[in-house]
Amino acid sequence: KNEVEQSPQNLTAQEGEFITINCSYSVGISALHWLQQHPGGGIVSLFMLSSGKKKHGRLIATINIQEKHSSLHITASHPRDSAVYICAVQGTSYGKLTFGQGTILTVHP
Amino acid sequence: SQTIHQWPATLVQPVGSPLSLECTVEGTSNPNLYWYRQAAGRGLQLLFYSVGIGQISSEVPQNLSASRPQDRQFILSSKKLLLSDSGFYLCAWSTTSGGASYNEQFFGPGTRLTVL
């Protein structure tokens, strides 16, 4: 069993739909990251959180430390949101990240 | 502001040839540095990390090595490439806060390596 599990692996939506991507982890962490990878491969950090909830524009990330679970929500999805979304957990040693397999999101107009 | 550079952007190399990928960071000092690999169809995996000049830690046994000759320079090398070394290589940095870093990581643009 992987230390970080994401679901779903693939997600297709119509423009305007509300989207949720889930991440579960099995190890102790100091923080959880949500990353976005575009088709060219470049990675952008969306959120880093250790408790509660963060919001940036149409993106919302939540984490429940007790349940070892995090969700990334996208409201009013748009085709430009199409990308791979990656959950990564950060341990307590030197900031090392362990990654989930990623969720491939495709938003159709 | 801080920036991170990687080169080359793409590389096609024959099996058995050497490899050198370079990563440099600007606008910060004494960063933690990381090399990650994303093999085809697989998730990202940490290969090496460094907390200072000349200090390298390896996460997985492999055909690769890393060096940090200067504070903001991180190099990934191989003496003889294997087919399985193909993938997308990402360098990243974060600020340091002692041994337990709780900091955002910033990723470079990556190098896509194909070994034929």
Stronger pLDDT, B37 or A39, i.e. the higher one: B37
Tokens of B38: 């994303």
Closest-CA residue of chain B to A85? B43
Q: Is the peptide bond before B8 cis (omega within 30 degrees of 0)?
A: yes
Beta bridge partners of A51: none
Burial of A59-86, coded b for 16+ CB within 10 Å and e otherwise, reads bbbbbeeeebebbbbbeebeeebbbbbb
- Measured over the CA atoms of residue B6, residue B7, residue B10 and residue B12, the dihedral's sign is negative
Please give the average per-residue pLDDT across B8-23, as a whole number: 96
Chain A: closest CA distance from residue B101 (Å): 5
Using a CB-CB distance cutoff of 8 angstroms, which residues of chain A are in contact with residue B52? none
Look at residue A91 and tell me whether its pLDDT is greater than 90: no
CB contact under 8 A, B45 and A99: yes
Chain B: closest CA distance from residue A17 (Å): 27
pLDDT at B98: 54
pLDDT at A93: 75
CB contact at 8 A, A71 and A20: yes
Which residue from B49, B100, B104 is facing A48, i.e. has the nearest CB?
B104
Q: Does A62 touch chain B (CB under 8 A)?
A: no
**CA pair distance B63, B78, nearest whole angstrom:** 6
Q: Does B59 touch chain A (CB under 8 A)?
A: yes
pLDDT digits (tens, 9 = 90+) for B99-112: 545 578 899 999 99
CB contact under 8 A, A94 and B46: no
**CA pair distance B58, B61, nearest whole angstrom:** 7
- Per cent of chain A over pLDDT 70 is 99
Q: Does A92 touch chain B (CB under 8 A)?
A: yes
Which residue from A44, A88, A93 is facing B100, i.e. has the nearest CB?
A93
Mutation target to probe the A interface, by most A beta carbons within 10 A, among B58, B104, B111, B114 is B104
pLDDT digits (tens, 9 = 90+) for B44-80: 999 999 999 999 999 887 889 999 999 999 999 999 9
- Measured over the CA atoms of residue A59, residue B26, residue B59 and residue B76, the dihedral's sign is positive
pLDDT digits (tens, 9 = 90+) for A49-65: 989 999 999 999 999 99
- In chain A, beta strands by DSSP E: 4-7, 10-14, 19-25, 31-37, 43-49, 52-56, 59-64, 69-74, 83-90, 97-99, 103-108
CB contact under 8 A, A95 and B94: yes
Phi, psi torsion values for A81, nearest 5 degrees: -80, -10
Tokens of B99: 């041994």
